[in-house]
Amino acid sequence: MHFDQRTQQALRDVGLETDDLRAASEAVVDAVEADATALEEFFDDHDAVYSDMEMAHSSADYPEHAVDYLDITTHADEMRGWLRFETWGVYVEDGRVLPDGSVELTLGPTINARVRFAPDRETLR
């Protein structure tokens, strides 16, 4: 079970039993795995994506990125991986698919920001 001890106790205090906690924990794990798969599929499906990332070497409001791959691993409620573009890559944590078909990832060192990616610039406007 990935809930820390304080969270487990708080959930028990409001009436959840151990089986309920286990079921909730498993549901979170399943959701994280499903999101990781959906994120990898998003980048697999597009040769290029656009982002709302501010880049020093680009004057575009929504720079284009040639996609190589996204590789994500999960552990309980954690999601981490590496996003590789044609000429550079970045560590990623967490992520989600948004209702408009774009995705959001937290990019690690060198970027240190939450960044949205879409298959076209119009989706980001």
DSSP per residue, 49-115: EEE----TT---SS-EEEEEEEEEEEETTEEEEEEEESS-EEEEEEEEE-TTS-EEEEE-TTT-EEE
In this structure, are residues 3 and 25 in contact, taking their beta carbons and an 8 Å threshold? yes
The pTM score is 0.88
CATH architecture designation of domain 5-124: Distorted Sandwich (2.70)
Which residue matches tokens 């954690």?
A: 78
Measured between alpha carbons, how far is 120 from 108 in angstroms, rounded to an integer?
23
pLDDT value of residue 55: 65
* Residue 117: its H or E element: strand 113-118
Give residue-wise pLDDT tens across range 23-80. 999 999 999 999 999 999 999 999 999 999 876 566 678 999 999 999 999 998 899 9
Chain mean position to CA 22: 24
pLDDT value of residue 54: 78
The set of residues, in sequence order, having a beta carbon less than 8 Å from that of 74 and lying 6+ positions away, is 29, 32, 33, 36, 80
pLDDT value of residue 61: 82
